[in-house]
Amino acid sequence: MLAVGKMHFEISERKMILRLFDILFILMALFLVGHFFDFDYFTIIMANFYWTVVLVLYLSLFGTIFEMYNLQVASNHFQVSRSAILTATTTVSIYLLTPFFSPELPSKRIQILLLYLVVFMSLFLWRMFYVKFLASNRFLQNALLICDQEQVEELILGLENIDPHYKIVAFVSADTVEEDTTAYHYVQQIKREALFPFVKENSISEIVIASQKTEGITPELYQQLLRLLESGSIIREYTQVYESKTQRIPVHYMSKDFYRYFPFSRSNHNKLYLLLIRFFEIGVSVVGLSLGLLFFPIIVVGNAIGNRGKLFYTQERVGKDGVVFEIYKFRTMICNAETNGAVFTTVNDSRITLFGKFLRKSRIDEFPQFINILKGDMAVIGPRPERPFFVKEIAEVMPFYETRHIIKPGLTGWAQVNYSYGDTIEDSLIKLQYDLYYIKHRSVFLDLSIAFKTITTVLFYRGQ
């Protein structure tokens, strides 16, 4: 008898559940409090559709900024508690302070405190329920891998390290000669002829084909895959699964015909999109430079005391189409920091001054780059520009690296908001995967996602 399929949630589904139930639980709590108690402000909010929508929009906006929909944060008791406090506090504060979009302040001041408590407690209790039950192993997504035997460990780690709810429970060897081995402590090896019954008996949600050799997909295995497809099983190619789970392009896995897997986003050449983005960049740059002027006296004093060198620092970087330009920054390192030649900046680099660490963490050191954006050398969002010396060095050992240069480099980017500072070739590979993902999926929605994540980086002092 075939097993009943085990319930699981995709990454997008879990994020949708979090966002939807945040809204439902808060609105339900407000309705109940307003209905059963003499709290006029709650009743007013729920009685006016427009004011309710504004509250929902604020909740969604600040929840995104404070990482309420980051699945790693949402699965951790401490981190989600911190995010719930910040989200509830900011949402309620802004809602109360924008009476043009929300009701007038309540006449009874105690209702302000009660509004905050209702929003926070309903958000907090629902998220604790999520951590305890929905983020548990009860909802693991079981998958089976078809790949070359020597790739098993690398491919499994590449997926499971990103999504803890995704579990490879077995693999089928796609080698020409199927060896009978029990040497793999990672997962169980399944014989090709046993694939169909194993999938049905073990609630396998999808089969992932990772072999680039067609010889291993024998006629017998192919027929079993067809039977599984016809019976409702999901069969996907490894690069598709990797990209959807990690939001990176697996360039280390692709061969030189990677254009089959890597169609560039039409936004890269969409004149309307590029024009709108350019207007946005000019506006952001004007605002950024204005903020920089406000901080300028503090930066001048801090540089004189902590850095004891020139305030501004210029450096050659590679831009769009491989054109080299001068990037502007506030100085964060000691003078003559590269007397022995160019080297990657490392974590806790001794060349970075104490004041320089503050500038980097807060990302204030990058304010002068708004000048580069106004000049057209850079964009607000795109791959971070690298120095010519390192571009040449990395491109020699890493395929597709110079593909980053088909668009303008950015002040912030998909790699910057998703990956910590890297000081090795391996780190550069991971950042390249993120950069290529952005180039492939570039859109207004992805740009907004990066903008929100950048705000989070600044607020939580995560600059590098």
Is there a contact between 6 and 205 (Cβ–Cβ < 8 Å)? yes
Q: What is the mean pLDDT of residues 244-273?
A: 76
Beta strand spans in 257-361 (E): 312-318, 324-330
- pLDDT exceeds cutoff 90 at 428: no
> Rounded to whole angstroms, how far apart are CA atoms 225 and 129?
38
- pLDDT exceeds cutoff 70 at 65: yes
Helix, strand, coil % over all residues of the chain, rounded to 5: 60, 10, 30
Q: List Cβ neighbours of 184 (8 Å cut-off, separation of 6 or more).
A: 152, 153, 171
| Residue 64 vs residue 184, higher pLDDT | 64
| Residue 219 vs residue 371, higher pLDDT | 371
User: For residue 1, what pLDDT band results from cuts at 50, 70 and 90?
Assistant: very low
- pLDDT exceeds cutoff 70 at 460: yes
Helices H, strands E: what count in the chain?
17, 9
**Among all chains, which residue has been given the structure tokens 């503090």?**
298
The lowest-confidence range among 247-261, 265-279, 450-464 is: 247-261
Q: What is the mean pLDDT of residues 180-187?
A: 59
The pLDDT, as a whole number, for residue 71 is 83
The pLDDT, as a whole number, for residue 93 is 92
Share of the chain above pLDDT 90, in %: 32
The pLDDT, as a whole number, for residue 193 is 85
Ordered domains of the chain (ranges, CATH): 11-134 (no CATH), 140-246 (3.40.50.11060), 266-459 (no CATH)
> Rounded to whole angstroms, how far apart are CA atoms 399 and 44?
60
The pLDDT, as a whole number, for residue 132 is 86
- pLDDT exceeds cutoff 70 at 257: no
CA 213 to chain CA centroid, nearest Å: 32
User: For residue 3, what pLDDT band results from cuts at 50, 70 and 90?
Assistant: very low
- pLDDT exceeds cutoff 70 at 26: yes
> Rounded to whole angstroms, how far apart are CA atoms 156 and 71?
20
pLDDT, one tens digit per residue, over 336-393 is 666 666 666 666 677 888 888 888 888 888 999 999 999 999 999 999 999 998 898 8
The pLDDT, as a whole number, for residue 42 is 75
**Among all chains, which residue has been given the structure tokens 């008996």?**
201
Is there a contact between 36 and 118 (Cβ–Cβ < 8 Å)? no
> Rounded to whole angstroms, how far apart are CA atoms 34 and 53?
17
- The chain-wide mean pLDDT, for the chain, equals 84
**Radius of gyration of the chain, Cα coordinates, nearest whole angstrom:** 26
The pLDDT, as a whole number, for residue 157 is 76
- pLDDT exceeds cutoff 70 at 184: no
